[in-house]
Chain A
Amino acid sequence: MSLLKIFKRSAIRRTVLFAGHVVPDSSRCVQCGICSDNCPIEIDVRAYAWRGESINKNECLTCGECVARCPRGVLRFEKTDLFTTGEK
């Protein structure tokens, strides 16, 4: 039964990652650079956070590494409307 749970959790996670993008709250950010340092494809996440822009790069894997490592909760996933428009 726990196996099913794991699958389910993993499926939810993947859906979130697939449908989301990383959004910063720049008022929380202190530009420490942990996010940029940990990005596997070297996106300068910190620069986005400084400008208060969401990470809209196509290359972003939405792996969640930056979100998980930020010590100040600056980054979060937000749903993009790309695949969800029409849903109410």
Chain B
Amino acid sequence: MKHIIIGTGVAGIAAIESIRSLHNQSDDITVLGDDPHGYYSRPGLAYYLTGEVLDKTLFPKKRADFINLNFKYKKARVTKIIRAEKKLELDDKTLLSYDKLLIATGASALPLTAHGANLEGVVKLDHLEDARRILKLAKRGKTAVVVGGGITALELTEGLRSRGVNVHYLLRGDRYWSNVLDEQESQIVQTRLQEEGVTLHFHSELIEVLGKSGKVIGVRLQDGRTLKCNILAYAIGIKPRMNLARDAELKLERGILVNEFMQTNDPNIYAAGDVAQVYDPITGRSILDSLWGVAREQGRVAGLNMAGQITPYIKSMPFNVTRLAGLTTTIIGTVGYGEDKDVLGIARGDSETWRQLPNAIVAQSGFDVNRLRILVGEKTFIGAVVMGDQTLSIPLQKIIANKIDISPIRDNLLSHNTKIADIIADFWSKQKMVEGNYATR
């Protein structure tokens, strides 16, 4: 059996591991990728920008790990999938044949369309080369303008700020990440950014990047203002890299459509990770996710199915941990609503489920840096945002994922001026005792 995996991200690596976990040692695995650095921690780029890790640290696998996995790697760009012959054409015109193919090409930043977007000093954060370029510019640059929303825009802002660059962050609306965070949460993040020395500009839209001798010298805003800067960093959303699939006439919507076995409409072709729009048999919807953990699990399931072990992908509760303005934040389940003016596509570290809010009541407590928001449904919690102190984030993750009946504490939680953190901690310790009893029986 010949497996080919296109893409060296976490979905691809997880697929190799799961194929090999089945002891199909005779199966042939070839990995093709166009990222010159192969597999590394993409989310870790944020911490590379802030200086918390060196770039060489971002590579989780050692040479020996790769040797154990026993696959062929070729740095190449695939130019065509010839489905009728089960062959791939590479940029050097080589043809490779496959039995099972996995497309795990990920997503890339939506391009900036404003005039001047091709000037030197306009940057995004897709891969390691981008991050290196940003750091190089930050050495000489004095001032940067950041546009966009969600997690990536903040990573750019904080990365640049921590390198001593003056940062202006432009927001189209009146607050940060308005479709996931509530007003107070946005306020907390904004205040902390300002304390870090970031200048925030609300209701501000970039119209044009101004340049001189091919380099950025400033930006012009819709209201006529201009800001001087040498760096313009943008994160306005991402789009799945579907060109190959489109040319091969695979079924697409916003991503490559796959069933719960990660299989496209061609039974020999699978897709996983940011590029895949995955059918969820429970809700009957096809969902696009752009989370690292999800990509890993999808890759793992795709690998098993490719190797002949039929395994459905079970979509877990969407959940992401991130740092917003230095504050560890866990977002679990459905917490947001509406559309974010700063994000055109889906924001990185984002999941669509976060915006599909059913009837739920919001209970909240906390202040400034420790804040907890829980969305309370009829009998279960639907979602939660935990900012700062993370003691409750794992219990909440479990309560939400396992749809634990919270009716005993529901009224208490929703009554006025209640300490929800204490109630939940208490509920969880009793819950754990119940679980423990089951375990010892």
Chain A residues within CB distance 8 Å of chain B: 25, 27-34, 36-37, 46-47, 50, 69, 71-74, 76
Contacts and interface: CB of A to CB of B under 8 A. Distances in A.
Nearest to A47: B60
Given A31-B44, A32-B41, A73 B321 contact: yes
Nearest to A37: B57
B58 A33 contact: yes
A46 to B, nearest CB: 6
Contact of B52 (A27, A50, A71, A72): A71
A25 B394 contact: yes
Contacts of A31: 10, 41, 44, 60
B44 A33 contact: yes
Nearest to B52: A34
15 contacts: A28-B321, A31-B41, A32-B44, A32-B47, A32-B57, A33-B53, A33-B57, A34-B47, A71-B52, A72-B322, A73-B321, A73-B390, A73-B393, A74-B321, A76-B394
Nearest to A26: B293
B328 interface: yes
B377 interface: no
B270 interface: no
Interface in B354-393: 390, 393
A22 to B, nearest CB: 14
A27 B323 CA distance: 16
Interface residues of B, number: 25
Given A25-B394, A33-B41, A34-B47, A73 B53 contact: no
B177 interface: no
Contacts of B316: 27
Q: Which of B43, B60, B319, B330 has the most CB of A within 10 A?
A: B60
Contact of A33 (B10, B60, B322): B60
- 6 closest A-B pairs (Cβ-Cβ)? A32-B44, A30-B43, A33-B57, A72-B321, A31-B60, A31-B41
Nearest to B39: A31
B44 A27 contact: no
Contacts of B393: 73
Interface string B319-334: 1011100001010000
A30 B390 contact: no
Given A28-B321, A33-B41, A34-B47, 11 more contacts: A25-B394, A30-B44, A32-B43, A32-B53, A33-B44, A33-B57, A33-B58, A37-B57, A72-B328, A73-B390, A76-B394
